Amino acid sequence: MRIKKLRRPGCQDLWGFTLIELLVVTAVFTLLVTAGVPSLVRFVERQQAESAADSFQRFVTFARAEALVRGRNLVICPRQLASVQCDNTAAADDAEEADIWRQGWLVFVDYDGDPLSVGADDLVLRVQDALDDDLGMLLRGNTGPGYLQYIRMTRSGGSHPLNPSVLFCLQDGSGIYYAAKLLVFRGRVRQSDPDQAREECSAESL
């Protein structure tokens, strides 16, 4: 772009842009910002979703290791918002179940044998903060009235229920831009095939 040299009688030379050039620059800048904002939002949401899935995987691995070392059962449960207590609210459907777990989760040493509540003698070891409401979640594994209320890691290295799973999804009108599925089998956690996770996210429309 040319910078025009302006002259006025009796004045020093001035350099500047014409009004048309300024309008063109402003229009181009606006287009670039408008096009870039959705991509930036997606990037941030994807990073948060990956962090949530990684956190859940680390919690399961940590709980199993601690159960073996301590010789005690450990429990991972959804947490009541901004507290260190389990949320044992009964969920009517998958959506309510996901809402409960999106409040975050915690892991504690279950000294009193009640996996639905952190008792006075129990010891909370780790806490996960609440997740973004846009993150879709689907949990499988029945420990209560039709939904997953907790995952118990036993002192022998196993888990109850035997094979719970958690599906994490992010999608909008243009498609799925994050999908991950964690499978817990006999105490060990692993991620399923990414393509399979995407297919399940698409089928469930989370």
The predicted-structure confidence for 7-25, as pLDDT tens digits, reads as follows 555 555 556 668 787 777 7
Higher pLDDT among residues 26 and 67, named by residue: 67
**Total domains present in the chain:** 1
Classify residue 9: in a domain, yes or no: no
The pLDDT score that the predictor gives to residue 76 is: 97
Going by DSSP bridges, is the β-strand pair 165-172/123-127 parallel, antiparallel, or unpaired?
Answer: unpaired
For 97, what's the count of Cα atoms within 13 Å in the CB-facing half-sphere?
A: 20
Q: Let me know: does 76 contact 139? Beta carbons within 8 Å.
A: no
> Tokens representing 139?
């949990």
pLDDT in tens, 161-183: 988 999 999 988 788 999 999 99
Residue 196 in domain: yes
65 is a domain residue = yes
Enclosing domain of residue 161: 39-204
Stretch 99-120: mean pLDDT, rounded?
Answer: 96
Does residue 15 fall inside a structural domain? no
What's residue 125's pLDDT? Answer: 98
Does residue 29 form part of some domain?
Answer: no
Residue 140 domain flag? yes
Name which of 34-48, 75-89, 102-116, 179-193 the model is least confident about: 34-48
In this prediction the pTM is: 0.79
For residues 52-78, give the mean pLDDT: 97
What is the four-CA torsion angle of 14, 16, 19, 23, rounded to 10 degrees?
-170
Q: Is residue 192 part of a domain?
A: yes
Tell me, what's the pLDDT at 190? 93
pLDDT of residue 171: 86
Q: Does residue 142 lie within any of the structural domains? A: yes
CATH number at 59 reads 3.55.40.10
How do residues 129-157 score in pLDDT, each as one tens digit? 999 999 999 999 877 666 899 999 999 99
